[in-house]
Structure 1
Amino acid sequence: MRSAVPLPVPGRIEVHQGHAPLIVAFPHTGTDLVDCADGFVSPWLARRDADWHIQDLYAFARDVGATTIRTPISRSVIDVNRDPSGASLYPGQATTELCPTTTFDGDPLYVGAGPDADEIARRRATWFDPYHAALAAEIERLKAIHGHVILFDAHSIRSRIPRLFDGKLPQFNIGTNGGTTCSPKLTAAVAAACGSDSIVDGRFRGGWTTRHYGQPERGVHAIQMELAMRGYMIEPDMPDESNWPPPMLDHPPIAPTLRAVLNACLDFRQ
């Protein structure tokens, strides 16, 4: 059965162990700027692009036996869903780096050039590596029990960010890196649960986590869900320090769909 409290994992990673063959990962909900806070132009700006409230939106995951993994460290310090080599996940398209130097909108995060190679290496060893060590350990733990595991990488983003995509993002953005990271039957089941306001491998095709761990031939099925934030909060037209982040709605309209999505993940392997 799952633990009642977070396990003491190095790097301050929060792990709740479940018994089902399902892991729900939260790589971008953290807002802790740790010892890097003084280097940012603005602490608010450094936290603005967090996946706000996502761990609360998926709080029910533990009730269905899922394991959850979360880092409290802000993605502006180091993005645990980027390729540690520094290679872009979306060549030719706007994106952010392993240690981002700009926000999603292109605003500079640092007064100068940002962290150098030594500082990036320090941040990777301190916060990136422990997160992935914990994630890999949970994958192997559950795979040893069940013979298979589903890794569900949970994300969200503002519905409109012109620098990253045109127009309004679909509500549910499913990423499988072109069908390579999980069984097509799992993709179909998740897409069916999401309904018409969804897309598979659109602007977001899965980050490094999905692409790195997704090995369906080994029984490890990885899938990313990028939610448009309008499904669980009221998004202002222009986020600023007076209105961002908004609170999560008391009854998010997408909550029943997310329950159906995780149930589809569990039903797929049963």
Structure 2
Amino acid sequence: MTTPSWLTVTRGNAPLLVSLPHTGIDLVDIEPQLTSRWLGQRDCDWWIDRLYDFAAGLGATVVHTAISRTVIDVNRDPSGVSLYPGQTTTGLCPTETFDGDPLYRVGEEPTPADIDRRRQTYFEPYHAALAAELKRLRALHPKVVLYDCHSIRSVIPRLFDGELPVFNFGTNDGKSADPALQKLVTDIIAGGGKSWVVNGRFKGGWITRHYGNPADGVHALQMELSNRGYMREPIGPVGPDNWPVPYDPDFAAPMRKTLTNILETALGWART
């Protein structure tokens, strides 16, 4: 089966799979339906692919989609069921931004047929790649870590109160990973001098919940970083004139050091 041009799978043989589901900005054929290109790309997990570009050098397998989450969010339940009942969130094919701005021109919102087409075209190949790589790695190792990479602006009143911690580490309330692995990662972020929480507002999306199965040797972790941890983020409302800010390797270096420690620690645990 031919890999689509928007899907990148970098194969390694270490017991670690790194998932990059929200760094894409490609709006493919839906841009004419949107209120603006900038809004369609604003909620991207900006520069996360660059922040973690060391992962392949550790021997990790990296799966990345270039498709924007505005087209379809590959970290949502494909049935459309909310992962956070009772809380504001965005859906499989979001019609609003995180801040509640309409993404689509009036009457141009995706129909059920549109959503089904996007699911088949973009969602299913991404998950087929994840499943295939996890199967391949499990054939090589008795246990594998699936690490799902995310980031978000630090202040979005519609989604959460106040300022989000820098590190938001999730294991679906301890269901998706071994407690020993969770503790190792928690100890790293707790000792780093930045704010942190485990299984708080962001405890893991569809990827973490669907694939995390410790009994079968797959341990899934989600790391949601506040943008200020690695970007010169303007705190508060943003506009086309100040968002996204450029990636600054020097500013991001301390975060990269911590994340490298986390992935190396997870690898060490998986190899024991």
Which residue is equivalent to 2:149?
Answer: 154
User: What SS does structure 1 have at the residue aligned with 2:249?
Assistant: coil
CA shift for structure 1 position 8: 5.5
1:265 aligns to 2:259 (yes or no): no
Kindly provide the amino acid, as one letter, of the partner of residue 211 in structure 2. Answer: Y
Which digits, 9 at most, give the CA deviation of each residue in 1:201-259, with x for residues without a partner?
00001000000000000000001000000011111133111111001222213111101
Partner in structure 1 of residue 257 of structure 2: 256
Query: Which residue number corresponds to residue 158 of structure 2?
Result: 163
For residues 143 and 30 of structure 2, what CA distance do their matches in structure 1 show?
Answer: 38
SS in 1 for 2:266: helix
Cα drift, residue 198 of structure 1: 1.4
Matched, 1:137 2:138: no
Q: Which amino acid aligns with 1:239?
A: V
Within a 5 Å distance, the mapping from 1:18-29 to structure 2 comes to: 18-29=12-23
**Can you list the C-alpha shifts for 1:166-194, whole angstroms capped at 9, x where unaligned?**
11111110111110001011111111111
SS of 1:95's equivalent in the other structure is coil
Looking at structure 2, the residues matched to 90 and 39 of structure 1 have their Cα atoms a distance apart, in angstroms, of 28
Q: Which amino acid aligns with 2:228?
A: R
SS for the counterpart of 2:63 is strand
TM-score by length of 2: 0.95
Q: Is the 1:24–1:151 contact (alpha carbons within 8 Å) kept by the matching residues of 2? A: yes
CA distance in 2, matches of 1:223, 1:19: 19
Inter-partner Cα distance in structure 2 for 1:228 and 1:208: 20
- SS of alignment partner, residue 182 of structure 1: coil
Tell me the CA shift for residue 12 of structure 1.
2.6
- 1:3 corresponds in structure 2 to none
Query: Separation in 2 of the partners of 1:10 and 1:256?
Result: 32
2: distance between equivalents of 1:226 and 1:118?
Answer: 31
Do the aligned residues in 2 keep the contact of 1:190 with 1:265 (CA within 8 Å)?
Answer: yes
Q: For residues 208 and 16 of structure 2, what CA distance do their matches in structure 1 show?
A: 14
1:11–1:127 contact (8 Å) kept in structure 2: no
In the aligned structure 1, how far is the partner of 2:67 from the partner of 2:76? Answer: 14
- Residue 214 of structure 2, aligned match among 208, 216, 231: 216
Deviating beyond 3 angstroms after TM superposition, the runs of 4 or more aligned structure 1 residues are none
Hey, what's the Cα distance between the residues in 2 that align with 1:218 and 1:138? 15
Aligned twin of 1:4: none
**Which aligned pairs between 1:68-147 and structure 2 lie closer than 5 A?**
68-112=62-106, 114-147=109-142
**For the residues of structure 1 that align with 2:186 and 2:143, how far apart are their CA atoms?**
21
Q: What is the Cα deviation at residue 11 of structure 1?
A: 6.3
Please give the secondary structure, in 1, of the residue aligned with 2:30. Answer: helix
**Among the aligned pairs, what percent are the same residue?**
55
Unaligned runs of 5+ in 2: none
Which residue identity does 2:245 align to in structure 1?
P
Which amino acid in 2 is paired with 1:163?
A: R
Matched with 2:242 is 243
Question: Is contact 1:193-1:264 (8 Å) kept?
Answer: no
Is the 1:105–1:161 Cα contact (8 Å) retained in structure 2? yes
Identify the range of structure 1 (8-17 vs 175-184) with the bigger mean alpha-carbon deviation: 8-17
SS of 2:209's equivalent in the other structure is helix
Give the conservation status (yes or no) of the 8 Å contact 1:181–1:210.
yes
Distance 1:45 1:10 in 2: 25
Structure 1: which 5+ runs fail to align? Answer: 1-6
CA shift at 1:10, angstroms? 3.1
Query: In 2, Cα distance between the equivalents of 1:188 and 1:248?
Result: 31
Count residues in correspondence.
264
Structure 1 24/15 Cα, relative in aligned 2: closer, same or farther at 3 Å?
same
Q: Is the 8 A contact 1:27 1:81 kept in 2?
A: yes
Deviation at 1:112, TM superposition (A): 2.4
Q: Decide which moves more: 249-258 or 46-55.
A: 249-258
CA distance in 1, matches of 2:262, 2:79: 32
